[in-house]
Structure 1
Amino acid sequence: MTGNPSSELVIVSLYPRDMNIYGDRGNVLSLVRRARAHGFAPRIVEVNPGDPMPDRVDIVIGGGGQDSGQGRVADDLQHRADELRDLATSGVPMLMICGLFQLFGHRFVTQTGSELKGIGVLDVETRGGDERMIGNIVLHSDEFGEIIGYENHSGNTKLGPGSQPLGRVLQGSGNNPDDGTEGARTGNVIGSYLHGALLPKNPAISDFLIGTAAERRYGSFAPSAAMPESVERARASAKRRPR
């Protein structure tokens, strides 16, 4: 099914120039394909440091990057913090992966003790750790079922009372080596360490983003796309791989 221009969804790809590692741009491409399958006309707007946000925003997607990339976008993120917080408060669905997950929290303190201030959309704090958490990871989510991805980070993220975990770890490390949580959720904003990219293997999360955006913009959402068999095979293969 092709999208109807009258059912446009504007997807903001946040900082794709600096925050696009381990295949995170695949989340945007997968979301576009899934939105079209549901009958929408997705339009991608890339927002890099210094670029204005579009007048209309339906979904915001951000990825991970090296520490240098985080440093380059951190100041710009502070300049647009109020706008992003307002969008989040108004119910715009967002997915932030790894480095932007950390910066959408309160702060990220590196191993050397330097601090990058976050924007506080998610009630989390992150500190750089000595242990690298890397490998395939499987979560259980009451809302999304089994979530499959790939983690590669040394940040130790702790959740405050204002955020709930995206899921509970069945295989892997998650937010930190200790508490068995992965990711964070406040309202319609999701943060996660899962690369892979996350959305191609987890269409239930794509459908949440699309459905929430459609209901907010058009008042309703009628799903019309099944999970492709190729996705089922990819999920099964990822689960079988050792860490």
Structure 2
Amino acid sequence: MKLTIGWLYAAKMNIYGDRGNVIALRRRAEWRGIPVDVREIGVGEPIPADVDLFFWGGGQDQEQDTVSRDLQGGKGDALRAAVDDGAALLAVCGGYQLLGHEYRPHDAEPQLGIGLFDATSVAGPERFIGNVVVDSQWGELVGFENHSGLTTLGPGMEPMGHVRIGRGNNGRDGTEGAIYKNAVGCYLHGSLLPKNPVLADWLVARALARRHGSVELVPLGDTVEQTAHRSAVDRAVLTR
């Protein structure tokens, strides 16, 4: 059994320490004796057929526009097809926006997404910055938001969760992120997964199940991770 991780646009969309998510996924698999191969997938490069877990971080608008153009046509179709076939995916901030229908910057042409999520994002008048606590199907999640994009989900789109502290998708409806099959998108930097090991393990298990059937991961001693999680919650309460 092996885990192959595809890191989408690592050179162009990798801000706010989101590489920590890839490190967490890799380490949590390797600590269980599961070999891991991490492949960077850049502009002009196809989606490999053997990737079962994708990560996609955030980037600046200019880089995001380049990526949007790269995804149109076969590459975006291949990524959607992989998720529909059971691949797992985590996208943060700009990557999350481009999984929707489009992102509309202030003074530029709309950036087309791949439509995996029924969601639309626009540049808002203010920036949401601060600690976030989210109630989700995985329990309590923590992260740090830093975005001006406002994301609105379609009527049937399931959010990743609902904000207890923070602004979330748009500062209005209380939602944070989106989820479709094994694909999760959100605005939670931090990095997200080191402080939320339950979500990291869910992604790893879902990715492995694509080729190996249901997988029960051996529990890890998450004392450090849970301490970091609790500390993040405490900071969020103090700064709300």
TM-score norm. by structure 1 comes to 0.94
Q: Which residue of 2 aligns with 1:137?
A: 132
1:90 aligns with 2:54: no
Residues in 1 aligned to 2:208 and 2:171: alpha-carbon distance in whole angstroms? 37
Residue by residue over 1:93-151, the C-alpha shift from the partner in whole angstroms, topping out at 9 and shown as x without a partner, is 1111100100010000112252001100111100100111011100001x210000000
1:74 positional shift: 1.1
Question: Is structure 2 residue 188 aligned with structure 1 residue 194?
Answer: yes
Q: What is the deviation of 1:209? A: 0.9
Q: Aligned partners of 1:106, 1:227: CA distance in 2, in Å?
A: 40
1:4 is matched with none
Q: Determine which of 208, 212, 222 is the counterpart of 2:206.
A: 212
- Using the TM superposition, name which of 197-206 and 35-44 deviates more: 35-44
Q: TM-score, normalised by structure 2?
A: 0.95
Corresponding residue for 2:39? 45
Q: Secondary structure at the match of 2:226?
A: helix
Structure 1: runs of 5 or more not aligned: 1-6
* Aligned residue identity for 2:198: A
Q: Is the 8 A contact 2:134 2:161 kept in 1?
A: yes
- 2:113 aligned with 1:118: yes
After TM superposition, give the deviation of residue 91 of structure 1 in Å.
1.4
Q: Distance in 2 between matches of 1:51 and 1:190?
A: 23
Q: Deviations over 1:46-96 (max 9, x none)?
A: 001012332311101100011122012111121401101111111111111
CA drift at 1:227: 4.6
Q: What residue identity is the alignment partner of 2:166? A: G
Partner of 1:27: 21
Quick check: 1:183 aligned with 2:204?
Answer: no
* In structure 2, distance between residues paired with 1:88 and 1:158: 21
Equivalent-residue separation in structure 2 for 1:52 and 1:77 (angstroms)? 10
Equivalent residue number for residue 103 of structure 1: 98
Structure 1 outlier segments of 4+, above 3 Å:
none
RMSD: 1.2
Residue 155 of structure 1 pairs with residue 149 of structure 2: yes
**Who is 2:50 aligned against?**
56
3-state DSSP class of the match of 2:72? helix
* CA shift digits 1:187-222 (9 cap, x unpaired): 111100000011101111111111111111111212
Q: For 1:46 and 1:96, locate their aligned partners in 2 and report how far apart those are by CA, in whole Å.
A: 15
- Aligned-pair distance for 1:155? 0.5
CA distance in 2, matches of 1:27, 1:61: 8
The more displaced of 223-232 and 17-26 is 223-232
Q: Name the SS of the counterpart of 2:24 in structure 1.
A: helix
Structure 2: gaps (5+ residues): none
Q: Percent identity among equivalent residues?
A: 46
State the alpha-carbon separation in 1 of the partners of residues 20 and 124 from structure 2.
Answer: 27
Within the candidate set 67, 70, 73, 2:64 is matched to 70
Aligned amino acid, residue 202 of structure 2: F
Matched residue type, 1:115:
P
